[in-house]
Structure 1
């Protein structure tokens, strides 16, 4: 029987790797000592804590925190000005992107529209 947490973690990691191989899947994780795979997640978590939890908290119940989290995620994905996007909200940036790659011809005034 496994006694120490390290042995348990090692066992779980081996079982996880075996299960991925059985399913024909590749792990989306970096190599040992490679911190790049967590950098984006840690950055977003830091923003969440700063912009939602610390700013709007403390929360009295888990339900209050969940509602605040849902609100923050919606704001972050639709309205927040992102520097990587030229300080344009994500939804506006995405709309512009799809307009550029798939321009629709607008009908002339009085022209019939075919659906």
Structure 2
């Protein structure tokens, strides 16, 4: 029997749903690990900033001001496999811009805590 693992992704920012094109990206670990050169089996570990990356459509009701001014937002990502990623204390990073040829806005949020549910 097959199991659905991919498909439409739903994104809400402070309760407002965005129209998404493509998928979303969320980290699966709170740390990054690297093997120490010359020492197989030993590694270093660094804390990773929780994030969400997504391409949204710049619709007439796109919450531009909410996203631009928000510094303590909650971003919820619902995947088709039933998993949900919640990013709290979220704020936009980078240089988001709206494109006229496809009407997309590439968004990246960093935050204080990211949790899988």
TM-score with structure 2 length normalisation?
A: 0.22
Larger of the two Rg values belongs to structure: 1
TM-score with structure 1 length normalisation?
A: 0.22
* Structure with more helix by fraction: 1
Considering Cα pairs closer than 8 Å and 6+ residues apart, tell me whether 1 or 2 has the greater RCO.
2
